[in-house]
Amino acid sequence: MIGLISATAAGAAARDRLAAAWPDRTRVYDGPVADAVRRAFAECEQLVCFLATGAVVRLIAPLLGDKASDPGVVCVDEGGRFAVSLVGGHGGGANELAREVGELLGAEPVVTTATDAVGVPGLDTLGLPVEGAVAAVSRALLDGEPVALHNESGWPLPPLPVAGEGAYGIRVTDRLVESSEREVVLRPPTLVVGVGASKGAPADEVLELIEGALREAGLSPRSVAALATVDAKAEEPGIVAAAERLGVPVVTCSAEELAAVEVPNPSAAPLAAVGTPSVAEAAALVRGGELLVPKRKSVRADGAPAMATCAVVRRPVRGRLAVVGLGPGARDLLTPRARAELQRASVLVGLDQYVDQIRDLLRPGTRVLESGLGAEEERARTAVEEARKGQAVALIGSGDAGVYAMASPALAEASDDIDVTGVPGVTAALAAAAILGAPLGHDHVSISLSDLHTPWEVIERRVRAAAEADIVVTFYNPRSRGRDWQLPKALAILAGHREPATPVGVVRNASRPDESARLTTLAALDPATVDMMTVVTVGNTATRDIAGRMVTPRGYRWQEGTR
């Protein structure tokens, strides 16, 4: 939760804009400012104070405890010109919050964290638990001193300015090692702990078993990615509570899946109880990996039978492919998740013109593999190949990467030997619809008129189906210099089922500086005014031009009496 505090009418106006934009993320604190700050500091993960930075410094100084647990604090000046990340830039998320607040209020984000200021990745922003001399190693990176990277696990990392040897070091390991005064240890989530438990097994017994197994094997509990068990134990209180204390999820598999896993220590007891000869070992091994700790049982102080078992597996480290949608072009329509993936990538693959849009958001050292139009399959193969090498790869596309973009060829190329995540983006159809009004208020379909990869016969059949079904149609790739007859043909098909006055919206370069939009009709649209940068939305028989806006009624019954 983000606490919002203000002292003046101008501050309250800006505060209320944030509260309206983020109703589920924010809480307004009224009353005397000092009391409001104290309450928000104790109750919230982040604060936005519409106050002078000096005043906020004096107010929060007695409240500060530890950078790992203090909330992030952002200050916005009285004129709404700057959003200053004051405290908790990395750990409290204040740097990113300052950027978000700046975008929403039109303020300039001010981030003074040294690593952010010069483009060096903060060691506590890499998405991994961090231990050791963070300040010393970060200072060495900032000063350009050689910092050695020892990535024992091979975990995919964003680009780091590191050398082969150096007086300072970064170690990426799940082993229980002590860091030196010049070393940072990053903990990758490489370990899966399989857990079996009798009904009613105490959480303390489960947790002590897990922690003891890890400690004796020389493994860090901060590298545990998940507790794994059989479906029948998904809600076993002792397992659920142990996972909560470790800060990891519980993942489950069916007894049939676990029974198919070869294990060194099968047993008749779990076979009789839940239908598989192994729970702990099988659940840990079901996705592959190296068995580091074979099944072991808990030990109870009173000598009673053990109620829990566990086994530990180091899962195979895999490369990572993020397929990222950049949205229609405007920077403020690029999602925070997309920004995060761009920052996480060590390799970026994309169309050259899309790379140019976001090049400034990449970390220094990111390897960029760009190509021109028509090389979609090559880009997809390249991205997958780089991920298979163990890299953290971002494959970018405009709009939503899953809509006429790179997700489809990439996932067709990828197998289950890499991790794949999709990052949604604002599609061209949605960006155009927002400009036009509400043309997609009821059922709608998107159809690409490009026959470079899809035979025209197939495209025409889809257009006819949409026409007969009276569905709003958005045409992508409607017309180019080499394809000038497809759009007139598609419009003619729709005209056989819709009135000449049916509203048609035409939007070119939605959300970009040279955006243009107009509302016309099916009879009046001149296809010659349309190009590849245009989205054409044709209404259905219910779509109306209302006050210059294209509206397709949802069909709510309560509206029937108002027509």
Per-residue confidence in pLDDT tens, the chain, 563 aa: 899 988 888 888 888 888 888 888 888 988 888 988 888 888 888 989 898 888 888 888 888 887 777 888 899 987 888 888 888 876 778 888 888 888 888 888 887 765 555 556 677 667 788 888 888 887 887 777 888 889 888 888 888 777 778 888 899 999 998 888 889 899 999 999 999 999 999 999 999 999 999 999 999 999 999 999 999 999 999 999 999 999 999 999 999 999 999 999 998 888 888 889 999 999 999 988 999 999 999 988 777 888 899 999 999 888 999 999 999 988 889 998 999 899 889 999 999 999 999 998 888 889 999 998 878 889 999 999 999 998 999 999 999 989 988 999 999 988 888 999 999 999 999 999 999 999 999 999 999 999 888 999 999 999 999 999 999 999 999 998 888 899 999 999 999 999 999 999 999 999 888 999 999 999 999 999 999 999 999 999 999 999 999 999 987 655 555 55
- Sequence-ordered list of residues with C-beta below 8 angstroms from that of 241, at least 6 positions apart, any chain: 203, 206, 207
Smallest CA-to-CA distance from 233 within 175, 186, 276 is with 276
Query: Which tokens hold the place of 137?
Result: 């190693």
Give the pLDDT score at 314: 95
Give the pLDDT score at 423: 94
- Contact yes or no for 281/265 (Cβ under 8 A): yes
Smallest CA-to-CA distance from 209 within 180, 245, 174, 179 is with 245
424/334 Cα distance (integer angstroms): 10
| Helix, coil or strand: residue 120 | coil
Per the confidence metrics, is the pTM higher than 0.85?
A: no
- Contact yes or no for 152/132 (Cβ under 8 A): no
Give the pLDDT score at 383: 95
Q: Which H or E run contains 99?
A: helix 94-105
Point out which residues pair with 475 in neighbouring strands. 447, 536
